[in-house]
């Protein structure tokens, strides 16, 4: 079991006053910024679902599987764009790379407001995904560059709350725009949310150049002093981490790809990416009830991500304080598994369906635990850690380019006969694979 500590014990007992000061500084520089940017990105992710049921489909003449196609083209863009970052993460300062990508992301997010056709939305979704692709593994690369193994879970969890808060905020903002902005300047309410999204994004991109700390190997000297760097290196080297980047070589590539560690982690992450139910399923079910207005639909859709915030914080904080990572993944997966099994059965009381849809976001609580554990597994090489974080994300994302077309086609919603069974099976295999990783590499990597 992990070393047991109280939930309010933010620091380890062995941390010196100087280390605690450094941790506070890093927490203020990394976590709020990473969280806020992720929050805004997932407002956009939620926007496309909310817009679809809030007037977009009717205005643009959609009648088939357009929604799942938007999700698929976004995933394709992610896969295509991720691969160069295996090389770029260790070589380009992250405090320049992240804001530059975010700025371009904001511009293409804004352009979605003017879409007049299916093809135009598809093109914008693809470009948005290109500039968004590296953000998630990039944040974990930065977290693994500064924090010890028993610190990374809470920071990863706090950052990942941005995902659920983004979906929650998108639903509430869409409801507000339908009520107050629909028709203003002759723009439909669903278009306004893309405008609001971009207005928030662009200043954040500029701010990142000044406050994002980069990595130990390539720090942002505006906010990180030489004393900070020396202390940070000392802390990580004491736990066996390598903090100095080494040139990528064929020898390194051979060592990476010819070891079972990489293939096991890749399979593990692929199972995770395939374990969650389609995020639009709750909205489609609510719409099928024919009892709520578009505004009310978006308000109710915030239930699941709101509960998801609790799951993410509890699961990720527990891994640093009192619960082994394997058991934390199992706990989160137990809720998501129960939910998709109920939905697979389908002919159950309506209250059971409300429960099942409400706990959907327990599945995403696994993400930062898994990626935090991967950071620890590859703490012995900066280059390998960058390659693995990007490559497992790219390959795992690749499966979600085409599998949802068969498991969660929009025309089958809200009762995805094959999708819920598939998600339940993947969740069970994810838990099994987690204990394979634990058995081979130990509970702490």
Q: What's the half-sphere exposure (Cβ side, CA atoms, 13 Å) at 409?
A: 9
Tens digits of per-residue pLDDT, 331-352? Answer: 999 999 999 999 999 999 999 9
Convert the pLDDT of each residue in 171-207 to its tens digit: 777 678 777 887 888 888 888 888 888 898 989 999 9
DSSP codes, 130-168: HHHTTHHHHHHHHHHHH--TTTHHHHHHHHHHHHHHHHH
Give Cβ neighbours of residue 320 (< 8 Å, ≥ 6 apart): 2, 5, 150, 151, 152, 153, 154
Tell whether the model's pLDDT for residue 373 goes beyond 90. yes
**Half-sphere exposure of residue 388, counting CA atoms within 13 Å on the CB side?**
33
Angle between helices 366-377 and 382-407 (to 10 degrees): 150
Considering the domain 17-441 in this protein, what is its CATH number?
1.20.1250.20
Task: For residue range 67-117, list pLDDT tens digits in order.
Answer: 778 878 888 888 888 888 888 888 899 999 999 999 999 999 899 888 888
For residue 234, the model assigns a pLDDT of 92
User: What are the residue boundaries of the structural domains of the chain, listed by start?
Assistant: 17-441
Q: What is the pTM of this model?
A: 0.77
């Amino acid at each position: 079991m992990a070393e047991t500590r109280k939930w309010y014990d933010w620091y380890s007992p062995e941390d010196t006053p100087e280390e605690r000061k450094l941790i506070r500084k890093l927490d203020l520089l990394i976590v709020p910024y990473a969280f806020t940017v992720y929050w805004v990105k997932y407002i956009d992710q939620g926007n496309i679902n909310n817009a679809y049921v809030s007037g977009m489909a009717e205005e643009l003449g959609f009648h088939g599987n357009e929604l799942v196609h938007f999700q698929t083209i976004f995933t394709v863009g992610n896969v295509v764009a991720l691969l160069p970052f295996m090389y770029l993460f260790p070589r380009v300062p992250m405090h320049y790379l992240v804001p530059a990508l975010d700025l371009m992301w904001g511009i293409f997010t804004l352009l979605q407001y003017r879409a007049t056709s299916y093809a135009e939305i598809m093109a914008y979704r693809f470009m948005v995904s290109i500039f968004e692709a590296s953000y998630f593994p990039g944040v974990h690369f930065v977290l693994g560059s500064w924090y010890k193994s028993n610190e990374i879970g809470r920071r990863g969890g706090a950052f990942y709350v941005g995902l659920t808060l983004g979906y929650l905020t998108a639903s509430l903002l869409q409801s507000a725009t339908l009520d107050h902005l629909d028709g203003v300047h002759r723009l439909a309410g669903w278009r306004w949310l893309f405008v609001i999204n971009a207005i928030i994004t662009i200043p954040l991109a500029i701010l990142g150049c000044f406050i994002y700390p980069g990595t130990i190997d390539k720090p942002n000297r505006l906010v990180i002093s030489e004393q900070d760097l020396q202390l940070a290196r000392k802390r990580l080297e004491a736990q066996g981490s390598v903090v100095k980047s080494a040139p990528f070589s064929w020898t390194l590539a051979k060592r990476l790809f010819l070891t079972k560690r990489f293939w096991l982690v890749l399979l593990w992450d692929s199972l995770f990416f395939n374990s969650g139910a389609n995020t639009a399923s709750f909205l489609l079910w609510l719409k099928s009830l024919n009892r709520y207005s578009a505004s009310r639909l978006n308000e109710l859709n915030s239930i699941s991500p709101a509960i998801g915030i609790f799951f993410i914080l509890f699961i990720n904080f527990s891994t640093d304080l009192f619960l082994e990572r394997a058991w934390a993944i199992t706990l989160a997966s137990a809720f998501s598994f129960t939910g998709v099994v109920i939905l697979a059965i389908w002919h159950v009381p309506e209250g059971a369906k409300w429960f099942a849809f409400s706990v959907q976001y327990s599945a995403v609580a696994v993400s930062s635990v898994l990626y935090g554990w991967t950071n620890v597994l590859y703490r012995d090489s900066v280059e390998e850690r960058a390659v693995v974080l990007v490559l497992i994300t790219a390959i795992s994302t690749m499966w979600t380019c085409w599998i949802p077309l068969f498991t969660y086609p929009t025309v089958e919603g809200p009762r995805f006969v094959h999708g819920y069974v598939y998600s339940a099976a993947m969740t069970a295999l994810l838990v099994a694979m987690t204990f394979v990783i634990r058995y081979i590499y130990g509970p702490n990597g």
